[in-house]
Amino acid sequence: MNIFSLIFLSVFGLFNLFGLSQELFIRQLIFLIVGFSGYFLLRSIGTHFFRLNSKFFYWFFVAVLIITFIVGLEVKGSKRWLNFYIFNFQGSEFFKVFFILFLAEILTVKKLLSNTFLNFIKVLLYFLIPFIIIFKQPDLGNAMVYFFIFFALLMFSNYSKKYLGYLIGLLVVFAPLGWLIMKDYQKARILSFISPHLDVQGSAYNMIQAVITIGSGMFFGRGLGLGTQSQLFFLPENTTDFAFASLIEQFGFFGGFFVLIFFTIIIIHLVKRTIHFYYQKSQDDQKRFLYCLGMLTYFVSQTIINLGMNMGIMPVAGITLPFISYGGSSVIALLIGFALIP
């Protein structure tokens, strides 16, 4: 993994936070120290232990999700965190890595006879259990990331492609039901994306302010800590969901361009590793291929969704931007994921 790209994005994210909140800057710095320490430790240990125990980690984090759903810290109507007093632990972020690792194991079919409809149902249930819990937290954005990961890995696994047809059919059939059980604010976000003018001061406010904030940065930005939209709190969630808009306001198009270049470098590296293992024939290499594909899907989907909602071209989904948004669980989980890339 190109560690320098990860470090650059992390440092840029820290500078952005420093201009918004010195307290969050210190916290994020601690999270990054822990994350990179874990990264180098895991690189030295290797992936064998985690692959061998992927099923244990799967059920462990399912239990964490259930506990979070029952007794988790509720913020703005969502139960996504366990409060450990000195930090908040978001299990759904850490679970992504081990979800990918587990799927890479079970989707590598050992025998042709195991490629059956019954096994497909079993694999589908392994996906639906965390998906439904996260969806009900409610956390639609992260639930969709889990879906993208599952769909991509199933598409490139040894399972018959007719099962993809079943999955798409289920999606079409149950999509109206999904709309009915969504929270009112989630529906409002989607409707406000389609017609922002209907509720400018309500559900469309965040998206409109993000676009205004990006525009106010112009080419070179207003300077560190001098963004009016961010500093005067016109832009909500300026350190998390809309950290990229805050970054553009402070560092302008010039700063945002370099951030996007390093995102591209990381994505290109992930694509190269994925393609490399795709052409290998052994069963272990198939597992490595699926893991790399899962990490690529994870990283790309979160990046595109977050950038899209910051620029007003996608609905607001509550997804963090990797290494730029504030959040210990997100950045540590990502570094664990990158450390396990073969």
- pLDDT, tens only, 51-67: 999 999 999 999 999 99
Band of residue 238 on the pLDDT scale cut at 50, 70, 90:
confident
Are the C-beta atoms of 294 and 334 separated by less than 8 Å?
no
Residue 88 to residue 27: CA distance in whole angstroms: 12
- What is the length of the chain? 342
* pTM listed for this prediction: 0.91
Please tell me the least confidently modeled range out of 45-49, 109-113, 170-174, 291-295. 109-113
Are the C-beta atoms of 340 and 101 separated by less than 8 Å?
yes
Distant-in-sequence contacts of 227-232, Cβ < 8 A, 24+ apart: 227/19, 227/20, 230/19, 230/20, 231/20
Burial category of 176 from C-beta neighbours within 10 Å (exposed 0-12, middle 13-18, buried 19 and up): exposed
Question: Residue 24 corresponds to which tokens in the numbers above?
Answer: 């969050």
Are the C-beta atoms of 255 and 243 separated by less than 8 Å?
no
What is the three-class DSSP state of 91?
helix
**Domain boundaries, position 113:** 3-339
Please tell me the least confidently modeled range out of 54-68, 237-251, 284-298. 237-251
What confidence score (pLDDT) does residue 305 get?
93
Q: How far is CA 126 from CA 62, 334, 336, in A?
A: 10, 22, 22
Residue 135 to residue 161: CA distance in whole angstroms: 26
Are the C-beta atoms of 46 and 342 separated by less than 8 Å?
no
| Residue that wins the pLDDT comparison between 228 and 300 | 300
Q: What is the number of structural domains in the chain?
A: 1
What confidence score (pLDDT) does residue 112 get?
47
